[in-house]
Amino acid sequence: MNKKQKKVFLRIVAAILCLIVIQFIPMYNGYVEFILYMIPYFLVGYDILLKAIKGIKNKQVFDENFLMAVATVGAICLGDYKEGVAVMLFYQIGELFQSYAVGKSRKNISDLMDIRPDYANVEKEGGQLEQVDPDEVEIGSIIVVQPGEKVPIDGVVVSGSTTLNTSALTGESVPRNATVGDEVISGCINENGLIRLKTTKEFGESTVSKILELVENASSRKSKSENFISKFARIYTPVVCYSALALAVLPPLVRMLFMGLSPEWGDWILRALTFLVISCPCALVISIPLSFFAGIGGASNAGVLVKGSNYLETLSQVKYIVFDKTGTMTQGVFEVKEIVLDKDTQIDKEQLLDYAALAESYSSHPISKSLQKAYGKKIEQGRVSDVKEISGHGVSAVVDGRNVLAGNEKLMQQQQISYMQPDEVGTIVHVAIDGNYIGYIVIADLLKATSKDAVKALKKVGMKKIVMLTGDSKKVADKVATELGIADVYSELLPGDKVTKVEELLAQKSEKDKLAFVGDGINDAPVLSRADVGIAMGALGADAAIEAADIVLMDDDPLKIAKAIKISKKCIRIVYENIYFAIGVKVICLFLGALGIANMWAAIFADVGVMVIAVLNAIRALSVRKL
């Protein structure tokens, strides 16, 4: 409890003690009773009364303070001292609880995301270490990370080797090895060895800062339910207040003028005051954002970054899921399996690989990386010129003065070069030099270990349609799809075709069902933004993915997709539980209050009790481990 909360707590305790004492004092005189009850009343409620007066001055009449002031003063005027004091007392208890619970969950969530490094050890000339604020470290500085410390800034290892624990970022404690030359991202914990890093980014641009910023700002993007609640609260309170006024005035007048009965003003005013106590929308206004906040916090702890409450809400309605194959379901690590030469060619296998690797050397596509890996030697960029990427087809380049074409069969067709039909399943890179076909390279990609289970899990969480899109050949795509158990596959798509396909699917589905696209964030940014929810895989270090996607899975595990959906569903279920529960109880109490069945005590429950229950329920969204 902070200072403010402690003060309120002491006032509450003092007021309760006062009330207990008062019960033992024999009452002979109404005035004495009144004065005695005023002691706990002002003790616990003076600030509310002051705020109410200030509110009226500032023309902000319908706030909770005003409602509570009117309700309690009204009750006291009617002689219900005990009720008046109790309403004020419970209102304060409720407020205190709320402020405590919110503060606590704020702290819980920031603890979960406790990846902010406090310092960096900068190596000075002569090898001395100096602890500085990570913000002050310049790019290219040498920093030392000792065992047990967090990596403060992204960098490259210059000496030493160690195992890094990425669990704070990914939610999984799979250790990563890092040695000289490896890139290391901030937020990981150094487990055993001492490493020296050369920083490649400023702290503000480092992974850890980006993630923190993203999570902290996530709850600022409000969901539809949140907007609904703030609108509801704006209308609800005045409506209840005017109904209360009507309830206090109309029935007695009708009784008096038309029915010839006694007006019973006191009874009806008391019913109206009950209305006022129920009218506070706190339970809703606090519990809905709290649920989202807790849900987002819990998700980020599990390695799923959600960029906004609105995306969490949309994710829970996803029924159509569209995958990219490469990097999402497969490892995206390609390896050259085989090189096949055309029978008429003079060139040998090694030379073919040479040409292909050099021609593709400017591309960041996984295929070109695997070619370079198989090539094994350092690429002499001087040998390559006039590189043209033909999107979805391949590349053309001049290597050692010869025109090299490397790409899929579409490229060969486009250039009107006859090519061999390969028997092998995999990605095929056909190569032609100076317009003559010389052969092809077979590159294959492996499925991720959890891909199969991921598809099963998605079916289990109620996906209506699971679709796989790929730029890869039909043969490879069909094989992967059968292995995974996906029925809908569209292959040989250009990046633009993927957008068109997603748009087709968007048009097919009903408005209520949402579509999610899952990609690795590399060259599928347009599709990620076109889908209702864009999910990027394996964002460790990939800035593009963090920028383009709405939801980022911190590790490469496709199982996390189903987990993210489960988290969102749980969170939204809690949100709706709270909405229905709070509005439901309030409406029932209002109704019973109007009939005179529910008294002030029921009203207190409808206000404070509901709020406490709703807040406790909201906090449940935080626990996502077992989903």
Partner 1 sequence: MKKTYKIEVDCANCANKMEEAAKATTGVKDATVNFMTLKMIVEFEEGADAKAVMQEVLKNCKKVEDDCEIFL
Residues 64, 313, 520, 555: which binds partner 1 (CB under 8 A)?
64
Question: For residues 325 and 330, what is the distance between their CA atoms, to the nearest angstrom?
Answer: 6
CA distance 530 to 514: 12
Q: Please, which of residues 106-135 interact with partner 1 by CB under 8 A? A: 106
Does 582 contact partner 1 by CB under 8 A? no
Helices (H) and strands (E) in the chain, counts: 21, 22
Distance CA 547, CA 552 (A): 9
The residues facing 441 across adjacent strands are 339, 429
Question: What does the angle CA 306 – CA 549 – CA 443 come to, to the nearest 5 degrees?
Answer: 125
Work out whether 293 is an interface residue with partner 1 (CB under 8 A).
Answer: yes
454 binds partner 1 (CB under 8 A): no
Distance CA 78, CA 273 (A): 11
By C-alpha distance, which of 441, 439, 443 is closest to 427? 443
Using rule CB under 8 A, residue 92 touches partner 1: no
Binding test (CB under 8 A) with partner 1, winner from 23, 29, 58, 421: 58
The two structure tokens encoding residue 564: 């993210």
Closer to partner 1 by Cβ: residue 74 or 289 = 289
**Pairing verdict, β 427-433 and 402-407:** antiparallel
Burial environment of residue 289 by CB neighbours within 10 A (0 to 12, 13 to 18, 19 or more)? buried
Contact 564, 553 (CB under 8 A): yes
Cβ(477)–Cβ(325) below 8 Å: yes
Closer residue to partner 1 (CB): 63 or 335: 63
Interstrand relation of 183-184 and 304-306 (parallel, antiparallel or unpaired): unpaired
Q: Which residues contact 224 (CB under 8 A, 6 or more apart)?
A: 310, 313
The smaller minimum CB distance to partner 1, of residues 216 and 504, is found at: 216
Decide: is 45 part of the binding site for partner 1 (CB under 8 A): no
Does 220 contact partner 1 by CB under 8 A? yes
DSSP result, 61-96: -SSHHHHHHHHHHHHHHTT-HHHHHHHHHHHHHHHH
Kindly indicate which of the ranges 58-66, 79-87, 337-345, 451-459 contains the residues binding partner 1, using the contact rule CB under 8 A.
Answer: 58-66
Considering beta carbons, is residue 159 or 217 the nearer one to partner 1? 217
**CB-based contacts of 600, cutoff 8 Å, min separation 6:** 75, 80, 83, 86, 87, 270, 273, 274, 277
Taking the complex as a whole, the smallest distance from the CB of residue 567 to partner 1 amounts, in Å, to: 17
In the shown chain, the binding pattern of residues 462 to 501 toward partner 1, with x for contact by CB under 8 A and - for none, equals ----------------------------------------
User: Please, which residue, 561 or 624, has the CB nearer to partner 1?
Assistant: 624
Identify the residue among 289, 366, 407, 426 touching partner 1 (CB under 8 A).
289
- Which single residue is written with the structure tokens 């005013």? 269
- Give the binding range for partner 1 (CB under 8 A) out of 279-287, 394-402, 417-425, 512-520: 279-287
Q: Is 341 in the site for partner 1 (CB under 8 A)?
A: no
Q: Minimum CB separation from partner 1 for residue 46, in Å?
A: 14
Using DSSP, state whether 537 is helix, strand or coil: coil
Instruction: Identify the CA nearest to 579 among candidates 226, 315, 98, 309.
Output: 226
Residue with tokens 């964002």: 539
* d(C-alpha 388, C-alpha 360), whole Å: 10
* H or E stretch covering 110: helix 81-112
- The smaller minimum CB distance to partner 1, of residues 409 and 607, is found at 607
What minimum distance in Å lies between the beta carbon of 413 and partner 1? 49
CA distance 224 to 503: 23
Letters for 221-250 (x = contact with partner 1 by CB under 8 A, - = none) are -x-------x--x-----------------
Lookup: tokens for 218 = 């996530």
CB of 196 to partner 1, least distance (A): 35
Cβ closest to partner 1, residue 189 vs residue 218: 218
Q: Which stretch binds partner 1 (CB under 8 A): 98-106, 133-141, 380-388, 542-550?
A: 98-106
98 near partner 1 (CB under 8 A) = yes
Can you tell me which of 93, 143, 290, 489 binds partner 1, judged by CB under 8 A? 290
**107 or 402: whose CB is closer to partner 1?**
107
Site for partner 1 in 175-214 (CB under 8 A): none
Name which of 102 and 506 has its Cβ closer to partner 1: 102
2 lies in the site for partner 1, by CB under 8 A: no
Provide, rounded to whole angstroms, the least separation between the CB of residue 234 and partner 1. Answer: 8
* 267 carries an active-site annotation: no
Asked if 577 touches partner 1 (CB under 8 A), the answer is no
Vertex 575 angle, CA 572 and 579, to 5°: 140
Contact pick of 32, 60, 261, 446 for partner 1 (by CB under 8 A): 60
User: Looking at 33, 63, 338, 389, which residue binds partner 1 (CB under 8 A)?
Assistant: 63
Q: Work out the number of other CB atoms within 10 angstroms of the CB of residue 297.
A: 24
Nearer to partner 1, 286 or 522 (CB): 286
Binding mask 376-405 for partner 1 (x = CB under 8 A): ------------------------------
List 80, 154, 324, 555, catalytic entry: 324
Residues sharing a CB contact under 8 Å with residue 543, sequence separation 6 or more, in sequence order: 210
CB of 229 to partner 1, least distance (A): 9
Minimal distance in Å, beta carbon 604 to partner 1?
Answer: 18
Looking at 6, 7, 54, 107, which residue binds partner 1 (CB under 8 A)? 54
SS (H, E, C) 240-294: HHHHHHHHHHHHHHHHHHCCCCCCCHHHHHHHHHHHHHHCCCHHHHHHHHHHHHH
Number of residues that bind partner 1 (CB under 8 A): 27
Q: What's the closest the beta carbon of residue 330 comes to partner 1, in angstroms?
A: 38
Rule CB under 8 A: which residues touch partner 1?
51, 54-55, 58-60, 63-64, 95, 98-99, 102, 106, 216-217, 219-220, 222, 230, 233, 281-282, 285-286, 289-290, 293
Which residues are tagged catalytic?
A: 324
